[in-house]
Amino acid sequence: MLDYHNEWLLPAEHRFPLPETTTGRIWLEIGCGNGHFLAAMLRLHPEISWVALEYKRKRVLKTLEKLKKLGEPAVTLIYGDFFTLAPKKLPPQAFERILLNFPDPWPKKRHAKKRLVGPSTLPWLYDLLLPGGMLCVATDAPDFAAQILDLLEADPRFVNLHPPYRRERPEFPGTLYLERWQRERRELHFFDYRKETLPLPK
């Protein structure tokens, strides 16, 4: 069942529900854009339920249009900001996989804190994943790719499954940005990190 929420119309303490699932598999897409990738994934893998976040209203509306054409997909679509949603409003250890497909790389140094993978957001991403869950990030920005590598390679809670990164991701459908960057022959970086559950200190 398609479930839509506007974060800014709800109380600050509101916690968002997870979509219905018959398989226990729920994925999170942060920055779903116009819904191009999400709709394609729902067609390919109807057994997976989704939570999808998007910050820009026009993109949310386009995503809604695509999802409604699919009938009653198991999707919770949230119009909101990851930086306020992740710490308190999304359930911990809920997601088998988290995907960030070409998020804004915020190339200027003074804007680096806005990147969706950074020192402030990594604890949130870790907490949202199930044990053994995967964090998958795609970017065309070399500086952002270097930051991802530096940050996650230094964190023993994550294991890089394809070091240092992949140049293609054939198991997933394309995104609008992916198609654009491929036409421009940009170097692409696909990261896949598994969440490790470390033993408690004795």
Residues 6+ apart with CB under 8 A from 116: 30, 31, 82, 100, 103, 104
Contact 31, 117 (CB under 8 A): no
For 73-114, write each residue's pLDDT tens digit. Answer: 999 999 999 999 998 899 999 999 999 999 988 888 787 888
How much is the pLDDT for 175? 86
For 2-47, write each residue's pLDDT tens digit. Answer: 999 999 899 888 999 999 998 999 999 999 999 999 999 999 999 9
How much is the pLDDT for 12? 84
Q: What phi-psi label fits residue 57: left (phi over 0), alpha (psi between -120 and 50 degrees) or beta?
A: alpha
Contact 94, 128 (CB under 8 A): yes
How much is the pLDDT for 159? 97
The reported pTM is 0.94
Selecting among 3, 81, 104, 127, the annotated active-site residue is: 104
Q: Is the pLDDT of residue 154 over 70?
A: yes
Q: Which amino acid is at 120?
A: S
Highest mean pLDDT among 111-115, 158-162, 196-200: 158-162
3 belongs to the catalytic site: no
Domains of the chain: 2-16+23-195 (3.40.50.150)
Task: Compute and round to an integer the Cα radius of gyration of the chain.
Answer: 16
Measured CA to CA, the distance from residue 57 to residue 80 in angstroms comes to 9
- Residues above pLDDT 70, as percent of the chain: 98
CA 87 to chain centre: 15
How much is the pLDDT for 125? 97
Judged by average pLDDT, the poorest of 51-60, 105-114, 157-166 is: 105-114
> Would you place residue 197 in the very low, low, confident or very high pLDDT band (cuts 50, 70, 90)?
confident
For 104-137, write each residue's pLDDT tens digit. Answer: 888 887 878 889 999 999 999 999 999 999 999 9
Q: Is the pLDDT of residue 58 over 90?
A: yes
> Would you place residue 199 in the very low, low, confident or very high pLDDT band (cuts 50, 70, 90)?
low
